[in-house]
Amino acid sequence: MQITMIGAGYVGLTTGTCLADMGHSVRCHDIDAARIVRLEQFDLPLYEPGLEEAMRLAVDAGRLSFSSRLRESVAKADAVFIAVGTPTGPDGGIDLSHMLSAARQIAPHLKRGALVVIKSTVVVGTARRVREVIARERGAFDIRVASNPEFLREGSAMRDFMEPDRIVLGADDARSRNILRAIYRPFEKAGVPMVITTTGNAELIKYSANAFLALKIGFINDVADLCEKTGGDIRDVTRGIGLDPRIGESFLSPGPGFGGSCFPKDTRAFAATGREFGAPQKLVETLIARNDQRKSALARRILKDGRLQPGSTVAVLGLAFKANTDDVREAAALTIIPALQEAGLRVVAHDPKAMQNARRHMPDLSWADCPYKACKGASAVVILTEWDEYRQLSLSRLARVLSGDVLFDYRNLFEPRAVTRLGLRYFSLGRAAAAVRQKAGVSPIDVWERRVAAPGHA
Ligand code: UGA
């Protein structure tokens, strides 16, 4: 099938490349002509493992091409996917202007019977609005608009596409449904569950999925706080609850608050949709506030527990919102680093992939090209991203280069004992602060147990 992808960003490029890999003939279109020239030379605007290699193979096989000429891109396509940005609008809802403008621009060039497929994450009702926009441009033309949300995670997008747990196809008429099914036929044949539904349901599925996953993270972050206060261990708690298949073990890792281009924006849009339709999403509203507070609270914890003198240096390892991406959008680093700087600390940062992107947000930050260099002479280390490179750090070397004695590990990369053995104070998430516990010899739960066991206790 001839497919055109409107928008050669993260979703458009990964989806387009994977559709080409499936055997379709794909053209990725972008209005940014310079980006297209760079793509033709495999100079990618983002880091996604496996994407460049797959792109090269698809281009060599003659199934993937790039263009910034709209008519040429759209005129022969059987399906035109729209994968443009849908940023947060002024009221927390999403700004659909790129989506509606793309619809307006492709409308005159669509061939008869072509299917327009919305790939971007959009609020319920968007397929209907896109249909109306195209109808205004093309009059009585037979217009078909479908919804096919993506469930790709940055950093594992290629695998997520090729090994999906389900595919959601939203269509409001039989012909659109058939085209969508034909595009994804190999997956259907391989037994991947297909959720074939209306466009409205497909739009609701996407937002509900992201909101639910974000709720899981928000919940476990709150439970981690409780573990710290009670001397519990979040690893045992998550395993103990996650083995219940109704809960599941995934997405239960505490962290410094979720970030990225999806969860923060999508939860805001979900809450705004709830308000708009008179079905308030109070859990999600609370989650949004809690997640923002968490980033600031973890910055305060560094200031309180770090016992740092003004002017001392803090090494921050990890700027990306998660590992295996160079994306820093809404990353915890963007809240925590400025808070440390405002408190008079000097920050030296390192990230294996995201330093260039982070520089745009924090131009006056000091950078190091290796984690040990970042830590050299620092009073404290703060880990914000779970890069494998950090997991493999030699803790003894780290302890040697530091001038201070404290490690804040906001991704739980290390065994507390392995850190404290080296004389470092270790603060991780959902586990009692190991060194403090060692020194005091008792945890809050020990105190409570002693009190309960004391004679005369009711
Ligand atoms: C998310 C969803 O996971 C995808 O299914 C969805 O397709 C995508 O949004 C989208 O809507 O396009 P992504 O934003 O790439 O994917 O990243 P995630 O892996 O979901 O992580 C989001 C944030 O949650 C990160 O900051 C991550 O560190 C944090 N997180 C994740 C945790 O703190 N704990 C966890 O257990 C999992």
- Tens of pLDDT, residue by residue over 238-288, are 999 999 999 999 999 999 999 999 999 999 999 999 999 999 999 999 999
Please tell me whether residues 70 and 189 are part of one structural domain: yes
- Lowest average pLDDT, out of 69-78, 86-95, 301-310, 339-348, goes to 86-95
How many Å apart are CA 297 and CA 246, to the nearest integer?
A: 31
Does any domain span residue 311? yes
**Is the confidence at residue 448, as pLDDT, over 90?**
no
Task: Tell me the per-residue pLDDT of 85-136, one tens digit each, with 9 for 90 and over.
Answer: 999 988 888 999 999 999 999 999 999 999 999 999 999 999 999 999 999 9
pLDDT at residue 446 greater than cutoff 50: no
Residue of 18, 227, 262, 375 marked catalytic: 262
CA of 356 to the centre of ligand 1 (A): 21
Q: Which of 282, 301, 319 is at the close of a domain? A: 282
**Residue 138: per-residue pLDDT:** 87
Residues 174, 94 share a domain: yes
- Tell me which of 282, 314, 342 is where a domain ends: 282
For the segment 178-191, the average pLDDT, to the nearest whole number, is 97
Q: Which of 152-156, 372-376, 432-436 has the lowest mean pLDDT?
A: 432-436
Give the residue whose CA is nearest to atom 18 of ligand 1: 153
Whether residues 141 and 249 share a domain: the answer is no
Distance 264 CA to ligand 1 centre (A): 10
Q: Whose CA is nearest to atom 7 of ligand 1?
A: 151
Is 72 domain-assigned? yes
220 and 190 housed in the same domain: no
CATH number of the domain that residue 315 is part of? 3.40.50.720
The answer to the question of residue 201 being in a domain is no
- Say how many Å lie between the CA of residue 263 and the centre of ligand 1: 7
What's the confidence (pLDDT) of residue 455? 53
Q: Could you tell me the pLDDT band of residue 158, with boundaries at 50, 70 and 90?
A: very high
- The CATH number covering residue 227 comes to 1.10.1040.10
Among protein residues, the one whose CA lies closest to atom 23 of ligand 1: 258
Torsion of CA 376, 382, 387, 389, to 10 degrees: 20
Q: Which amino acid is at 299?
A: A
Q: Is residue 309 part of a domain?
A: yes
How many whole angstroms from 5 Cα to the centroid of ligand 1? 24
Same domain, 7 and 113: yes
Alpha-carbon gap, residue 117 to 181, rounded angstroms: 12
Q: Is the CB of 120 under 6 A from ligand 1?
A: no
- Let me know if residue 200 belongs to a domain: no
Largest Cα separation within the chain, whole Å, is: 86
Same domain, residue pair 106 and 59:
yes
- Where in the sequence is the domain holding 353, given as residue range(s)? 292-453
Q: Say whether both 172 and 300 belong to one domain.
A: no
Q: In sequence order, which ranges of 47-173 are alpha helices (DSSP H)? A: 51-60, 70-74, 97-106, 126-138, 157-162
Do residues 273 and 305 share a domain?
Answer: no
User: Is the pLDDT at 378 greater than 60, yes or no?
Assistant: yes
In a domain, 116, yes or no: yes
199 is a domain residue: no
pLDDT for position 443: 37
Contacts of 190 (CB under 8 A, 6+ apart): none
Nearest atom of ligand 1 to the alpha carbon of 332:
26
**Any atom of ligand 1 within 6 Å of the Cβ of 205:** no
2 pLDDT more than 60: yes
Mark whether 227 and 91 lie in a shared domain: no
Q: Which of these three, 231, 260, 282, is where a domain ends?
A: 282
pLDDT > 50? residue 440: no
The secondary structure of residue 62, as a DSSP letter, is T
Examine the domain organization and report whether 358 and 404 are in the same domain.
yes
For residues 12 and 44, give the distance between their C-alpha atoms in angstroms, rounded to a whole number. Answer: 12
Helical H runs in 82-184?
97-106, 126-138, 157-162, 174-183
Query: Active site includes 262?
Result: yes
Domain count along the chain:
3
Asked, for residue 106, whether it belongs to a domain, the answer is yes
329 CB within 6 A, ligand 1: no
Average pLDDT, integer, range 367-385? 97
Name the closest-CA residue to atom 28, ligand 1.
Answer: 322
Q: Mark whether 266 and 305 lie in a shared domain.
A: no
Which atom of ligand 1 lies at the shortest distance from residue 250's CA? 36
Say yes or no: 441 and 303 in one domain: yes
Give the chain's mean pLDDT.
93
